[in-house]
């Protein structure tokens, strides 16, 4: 290596101290980023608990056959008292038994499958319909946009619960029919939101410039509108599961949702109406699961909204 005194440039060899410093800096940055993520959750214990509960429900639904000690539809003679009443929680039946002597814990785990499946399918369908209607109306405007939004307003005029009950009563209830019914009453709100945002974006100068330069509809939608709308769609997709789970439970409780023997948290409560006072665990455990899952998705959705659009934080 030459000497600076002789006017010869000195270059740091590859893998020398310069490379080590860069590597060390990257490690420090990664560690700092990890600590920031950990700190984010530590500062928000409600969010952390919500995500853990959602994960618990999802894992329980996926691995239900391996987590449940009994078949959810199996009726046990020893699962009832001598008077024929359900058994309270004990070492054999961890959450007690229902009015037919079935293990409540097993039915609750399998019920998570049903409630979560309906929540995801119904909400996903509602979001898809709402985005298509809102995006089309907001971008096209004119007569087509007006007709789409008038139809949306007409759907909003009907109470969602009454409309869902009416639709569910017409068709033979099943997991897929209930999912479709819930989707048909839940899409209108996101359609209004997407319409408003699409209309505002379509009026921006950069969209006008794109049109002037000859950009087609697909380019404007794919490059400009849809990426701008993605955070809103993601937030609504998360928050909507909460509403969907509650609506499914309500329909099942009223007897027009998922029908026994298929377990869902709502119809477990429906089947236990006559035991509200004598066997409160039949109502408490599925009711607590519904409330906690709905609350967890609400908290997760709020946190996602604040992260994607900090300007909205604290408004609602």
Q: What single-letter DSSP state applies at residue 315?
A: T
The whole-model pTM stands at 0.79
How much is the pLDDT for 8?
A: 47
Which ranges in 96-174 belong to alpha helices (H)? Answer: 104-140, 142-157, 160-170
CATH 1.10.3720.10 for domain 46-312? yes
- Burial pattern 126-164, b for ≥16 Cβ within 10 A else e, equals bbebbbebbbbbbbbbeeebeebbeebeebeeeebeeeb
User: Computed over its alpha carbons, how large is the radius of gyration of the chain?
Assistant: 27
Task: Tokens 């860069």: give the residue.
Answer: 22
Hey, CA dihedral for 132, 138, 144, 148, is it positive or negative? positive
How much is the pLDDT for 36?
A: 56
Across-strand partners of 80?
Answer: 86
How much is the pLDDT for 168?
A: 81
Across-strand partners of 103?
Answer: 97
Q: Pick from 269, 307, 300, 271: which is nearest to 285 by CA?
A: 269
Report DSSP letters for 230-292, one per residue.
Answer: HHHHHHHHHHHHHHHHHHHHHHHHTTSSSPTTS--HHHHHHHTGGGTTT-THHHHHHHHHHHH
Which helix (DSSP H) or strand (DSSP E) does residue 204 occupy? none
CA dist 166 and 94 (Å) reads 38
How much is the pLDDT for 142?
A: 83
How much is the pLDDT for 225?
A: 84
129-150 pLDDT, tens digit per residue, is 999 999 999 888 888 888 999 9
Domain ranges across the chain: 46-312
How much is the pLDDT for 131?
A: 94
Low-confidence stretches of the chain (pLDDT beneath 70):
1-42, 309-316
CA dist 18 and 16 (Å) reads 5
CA dist 129 and 178 (Å) reads 16
């Amino acid at each position: 290596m030459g000497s600076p005194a002789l006017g010869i440039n000195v270059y740091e060899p590859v893998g020398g101290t310069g490379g080590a410093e860069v590597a060390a800096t990257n490690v420090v940055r990664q560690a700092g980023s990890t600590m920031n993520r950990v700190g984010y959750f530590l500062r928000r214990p409600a969010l952390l608990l919500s995500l853990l509960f959602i994960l618990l429900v999802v894992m329980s639904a996926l691995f239900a056959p391996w987590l449940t000690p009994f078949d959810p539809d199996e009726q046990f003679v020893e699962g009832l008292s001598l008077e024929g009443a359900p058994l309270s929680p004990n070492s054999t039946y961890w959450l007690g038994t229902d009015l037919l002597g079935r293990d409540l814990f097993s039915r609750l785990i399998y019920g998570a499958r049903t409630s979560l499946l309906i929540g995801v399918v119904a909400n996903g369908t509602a979001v898809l319909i709402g985005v298509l209607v809102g995006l089309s109306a907001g971008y096209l405007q004119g007569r087509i946009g007006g007709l789409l939004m008038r139809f949306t307003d007409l759907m909003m005029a009907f109470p969602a619960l009454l409309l869902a009950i009416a639709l569910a009563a017409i068709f033979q209830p099943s997991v897929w029919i209930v999912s479709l019914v819930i989707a048909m009453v839940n899409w209108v709100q996101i359609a209004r939101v997407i319409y408003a945002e699409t209309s505002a974006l379509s009026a921006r100068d950069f969209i006008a410039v794109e049109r002037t330069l000859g950009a087609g509809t697909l380019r404007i939608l794919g490059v400009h509108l849809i990426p701008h709308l993605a955070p809103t769609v993601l937030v609504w997709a998360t928050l909507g599961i909460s509403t969907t789970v509650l609506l499914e439970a309500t329909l099942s409780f009223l007897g027009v949702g998922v029908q026994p023997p298929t377990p869902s948290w709502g119809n477990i409560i429906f089947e236990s109406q006559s035991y509200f006072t004598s066997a409160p665990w039949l109502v408490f455990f599925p009711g607590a699961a519904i409330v906690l899952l709905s609350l967890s998705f609400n908290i997760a959705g709020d946190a996602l909204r604040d992260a994607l659009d900090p300007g909205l934080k604290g408004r609602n």
